[in-house]
Structure 1
Amino acid sequence: MSAFTGVRAVLFDLDGTLIDSAPDLAAAADQMRVARGMPSLPFEQYRPMTGAGARGMMAVAFGMGPDDPQFPAYREEFFCNYAACMTQQTRPFPEVAELLAQLQQRGLRWGVVTNKSERFAVPLTQQMALFSSCAALVCGDTTAFSKPHPEPLFEAARRLDLTPAQCLYVGDDERDMVAGLAAGMGSVAATYGYLGSNADTRSWGAHAEIKSPLGLLQWLAPA
């Protein structure tokens, strides 16, 4: 397809799209194993499951699913560990800072729509200089719904005083594309994030794919 037209703002998923938080998430889970006398696992085992949050980390660390009676307690322990370390190794992906600068030079605003809860997303973004120009932050518990429901994207558009059609949504997970398409936004799959080896991005229905953050610029029509 040709470049998107009429775009006034770009909305991004957070983990796996703008920032690489996998090292801190993995450390929080692995700390639980070590505390129980279990051997540490290689980071490479955790990384592909980062996009699934606590559910993914507990699956790797303990083979535990959400239906396990111990899961709520383990999840809260994981959350506490993560809160204590969430900015230690987390960094923006390469090219992200340049991309955001380029968007602003083009007169485009940008924001974040994440399933990360406000408990973590607000302090994390406040501690990273990258987000000083973020015009809207919608978290997994900001509205009554989280992605793949489109309501968080609608909320971001409202905060920017734009229609959904004036927004582009970029994410690295199928639920991001489901939400973006349901919201009526141009939807771009970021394939440089935490995709597992079995991910088939072509089945997501995205309008476009990018292999690096700066690849987004080719999909934006000149102002």
Structure 2
Amino acid sequence: MLNSPPGVATRAAIRTVLFDLDGTLVDSAPDLAGATNEMLIARGLPEVPFERLRPMVGAGARGMMGVAFGVSPKEMTFPALRDEFFDRYERRLLRATRPFDGVAAMLQALSDDGLSWGIVTNKSERFALPLARGLGWSERAAAVVGGDTTPHSKPHPEPLLEAARRAGVAPGECVYVGDDARDVLAGRAAGMPTIAVRWGYLGDGEPIEAWGADVVLDTPSQLVEWLRAAR
């Protein structure tokens, strides 16, 4: 369902669609959860059911280590657990990670319609760049900006502004698409229309309708429909 779209003039000005990665373009939960459960198995501890880990993917290592070990970033044991988690995840980066259903067709439709697209994620370049390469997106994307590409990560607007610079467009000619409230905050701070996607991880915070996005989408094909409606 499309909710509260911005004006047609705003949509008509869009030249580039910028996407969050995990939970928006790709379902990386199986590999992130797998790395977490590998850590538990190595310690002789019971695995955490996938259904408990999946909603926390958007929170990264903080969320995964919190569910698996009850540890927060403020605790002394967190850095070592985080580093082990990163190492294990890196080794299985593309073992089970796949684009969500409909994403490949959506990206092709954007290209067919003459729109460029890019990726802005809080995932560090250590993971984001090889993931984009492995999926065949590096050469197609106008920009791939990771969480450490600029001095700031989302919800700061700088990663989105950097992506717009790399794509050669003004921020107001971009729309930002994500599955977390931070994505909406970052997009609005960058002066971009924002779209929230219901197929993502969503976390356990406010409902998606409360994030303040201009549009809420149920499927990737709706993004193409929404853009085409203004042309």
Structure 1 length-normalised TM = 0.97
Q: Give the Cα–Cα distance (whole angstroms) in 2 for the partners of residues 130 and 112 of structure 1.
A: 9
DSSP 3-state at the match of 1:24: helix
2:14 maps to 7
Contact conserved, 1:97 with 1:130, CA < 8 A, in 2? no
Q: Give the Cα–Cα distance (whole angstroms) in 1 for the partners of residues 204 and 67 of structure 2.
A: 15
1:91 maps to 98
Structure 1 residue 164: deviation in Å? 0.4
DSSP 3-state at the match of 2:12: coil
**Counterpart check, 1:123 vs 2:134:** no
Aligned residues: 223
**Counterpart check, 1:178 vs 2:185:** yes
2:160 maps to 153
2:211 maps to 204
2:68 maps to 61
Structure 1 residue 49: deviation in Å? 0.4
Counterpart of 1:208, as a letter, is V
Instruction: Say which of 16, 19, 44 aligns to 2:23.
Output: 16
Residues 112, 135 of structure 1: alpha-carbon distance in 2 compared, 3 angstrom cutoff: same
Ranges of 4+ aligned residues in structure 1 off by more than 2 Å: 129-132, 196-199
Q: Give the Cα–Cα distance (whole angstroms) in 1 for the partners of residues 206 and 27 of structure 2.
A: 18
Q: Give the Cα–Cα distance (whole angstroms) in 2 for the partners of residues 26 and 129 of structure 1.
A: 23
Structure 2 length-normalised TM = 0.93
Q: Which moved more, 1:139-148 or 1:213-222?
A: 213-222
DSSP 3-state at the match of 2:202: coil
Q: Percent identity?
A: 54
1:101 maps to 108
DSSP 3-state at the match of 1:125: helix
Q: Which moved more, 1:121-130 or 1:39-48?
A: 121-130
Counterpart of 1:138, as a letter, is V
1:76 maps to 83
Unaligned 5+ segments in structure 2 are none
Q: Give the Cα–Cα distance (whole angstroms) in 2 for the partners of residues 14 and 97 of structure 1.
A: 13
Counterpart of 1:155, as a letter, is E
Residues 20, 131 of structure 1: alpha-carbon distance in 2 compared, 3 angstrom cutoff: farther
**Counterpart check, 1:38 vs 2:62:** no
1:116-145 CA distances to partner (integer Å, 9 max, x unpaired)?
A: 000111111111124541110011000010
Contact conserved, 2:129 with 2:138, CA < 8 A, in 1? no
Residues 197, 149 of structure 1: alpha-carbon distance in 2 compared, 3 angstrom cutoff: closer
Structure 1 residue 191: deviation in Å? 1.2
